[in-house]
Amino acid sequence: MTLTTMIQKMSEGLGNTCAIFFYTLLFALPLGVVFALLRMSKNIVISKLTQLIVSVLRGTPLMLQLLAVTYGPYYLFGMSISRNKLIPVVIAFSINYAAYFSEIYRGGIESISVGQYEAAAILGYSKAQTFIKIILPQVIRRILPSVTNEIVTLVKDTSIAFTVSYQEMFTIGKQIANSQTSFMPFVVAGVFYYIFNALVGFVMGRAEKAMSYYKQ
Amino acid sequence: MQVYKTAGKSKKTLYNFNVIKYNYNIKKTGEIPKGVIRMKKIIAIMLALLMLLAFAGCGKKEKAKLKIINEELGAEQYGIAFRSGDEETCNYIEAAVAELVRSGKYKEIADKYPDIVNSLLFLNGTDVAKDDGALDLSKAGSRTFIQGIDPEYPPFSYVGDDGEYAGFDVEICKAACDLLGWEHKIFGVNWDQKLIQLDAKECDCVWAGMTILDTMKEAGYVISAPYFDNTQVVVVKDDSGIKSSKDLKGKVVAVQLGTSGEALLNGDLKDLKDSFKELVTCDSFLKCFTELEGGAVDAVFVDYPVAKSYIADKK
């Protein structure tokens, strides 16, 4: 097998890898806000319950959660296993990453000083206006580096989806490595992941620049 | 009082301080409210119940019935792989196995595995070793011999009910090591990396229902005399209506990554593979069967003895 065919075969799997990546971001970023707000709720039951959920999601391996979401319903209730593996994979990835994002958001929101809320109140902002117009822009700017960290990890974590027989790029790489008894597919996979992450880094760098309209 | 138009676009009097309603929830330190402790207990109990439910669910559920399609799709043989240049170890192991066959111990162990006993070559008159009897087993010296196995490959190698590794290949290797006076250890390899792990000396052989492939010999690995006749078969659900490999057209088929079945589908049986809707690779064949039972795939491509043992186990 030539290098070109190898790269071509693996690029076909790259679509599946990207699917996990984009769908997970699509669902995990907003879901993280929900988790963060519930976590900061004044109702102690809601707050503690969310804390527990987040601690379980962060405290157990993603691989285990993938297995639980994919095969759990079958083993527990005899439900059939989804033919489209993307669905359980995205569910598991989304809730897992939402847990991490929620803590990043919470850290960001709580880092804003109380004085700003008071100032906003004096200026007559309502609670919602204070959050959206004053707090949120600062929070986004502050949490961007941490969020980039998580997104970079997400790119690499997509390879875990093979645990539930999802055919992504790294799986195809392994198949080729096997049939060709060659190490080359792993090198190609490494280059693919690196390029992917370089793109992520570039985009997030631009986003950070766009957000730095004032210096503190 | 003067009325200002504020940035918040609402008209309010300037000195209408409404700061008090922002309750920043500054907590008294050190004390956990009683409600929290009670809630933690309730959650713990709920989780425990959920776990019990899960275990109960596992116990009583009936598995979907599976069957093997009566069609042999590829004949092949199992052997033991050693590192290249390690002929000495190979010769000692072969001599020890030959001795086991002579003494009847081999047959004794094989009889415990009714699914495979009929296809064992050494019990059907095939010679074991190339230089049978030439080696003195007592001069094998003392060493540790690490057997590389796939821990999810019954009946050849698997984790038994007592949590220890069991299986035909494990028992034979153990008996052979006892004869040679070697210390027997087991290492569970990652099946699709087995030869790399062998090269890295994580194990001294790969011995777990491993199909002898030409590519292994070309790569220089020392391969023992074949000991088992194997065929690839297709396993489907009993009520699926699939009767032969021709019916697999447009179906989703699962195969374990790194097995000879996968190699076969990418080689000699490429036309068959191209007729599938999709070929799914799993990291263990047990997962392939779970996918089949759960309805995620229509058929599993697997070695005959493994299929037979799995289906017998489920009854």
Q: Residues B184-229: pLDDT tens digits? A: 999 999 888 888 889 989 999 999 989 898 888 888 899 998 999 8
* Residue B270's CATH number: 3.40.190.10
Is B106 in the same domain as B181? yes
Residue B162 placed within a domain:
yes
Q: Which residues pair with A52 in a beta bridge?
A: none
Q: Worst-scoring range by mean pLDDT, A7-11, A88-92, A186-190?
A: A7-11
Is B96 in the same domain as B54? no
Q: Is the pLDDT of residue B63 over 90?
A: no
Query: What is residue B148's three-state secondary structure?
Result: strand
- Final residue before a domain boundary, out of B200, B227, B254: B227
Q: Can you give the residue range of the structural domain that contains B235?
A: 66-71+231-314
pTM of this prediction?
A: 0.75
Q: Which residues of A touch B219 (CB under 8 A)?
A: 181
A98-A100-A101 Cα angle (round to 5):
60
Which pair of tokens denotes residue B60? 């009583």
pLDDT score, position B52: 72
What is A3-210's CATH topology?
MetI-like fold (1.10.3720)
Identify the H or E element spanning B286.
Answer: helix B285-293
Does residue B174 contact residue B146 with C-beta atoms inside 8 Å?
A: no
- Three-class secondary structure assignment of B65-118: CEEECCCCCCEEEEEEEECCCCHHHHHHHHHHHHHHHHHCHHHHHHCCCCCCHH
Helices A62-77, A86-110: axis angle to 10 degrees equals: 130
What ipTM describes this predicted complex?
A: 0.80
The residue type of B74 is: G
Q: Residues B92-132: pLDDT tens digits? A: 898 888 888 888 899 999 998 888 888 888 887 776 655 55
Q: Is the Cβ of A163 closer than 8 Å to some Cβ of chain B?
A: yes
Q: Scanning every residue of chain B, which has its alpha carbon at the shortest distance from the alpha carbon of A116?
A: B19
Which pair of tokens denotes residue B255? 């195969």
Q: Which of A10, A83, A112 to mutate to test the interface with B (most CBs of B within 10 A)?
A: A83
**A11 CB-contact burial (10 Å; exposed 0-12 / middle 13-18 / buried 19+):** middle
Across the A:B interface, residue pairs with CB atoms under 8 Å apart total 106
- In angstroms, the CA B185 to CA B170 distance is 10
Q: Checking DSSP bridges between strand B66-68 and strand B228-237, what pairing results, if any?
A: antiparallel
Does residue A114 contact residue A49 with C-beta atoms inside 8 Å?
A: no
Q: Which residues of A touch B8 (CB under 8 A)?
A: 120, 123-126, 129, 133
Is B87 in the same domain as B140? yes
- In angstroms, the CA B185 to CA B30 distance is 53
Q: Scanning every residue of chain A, which has its alpha carbon at the shortest distance from the alpha carbon of B10?
A: A124
Which pair of tokens denotes residue B247? 């019916």
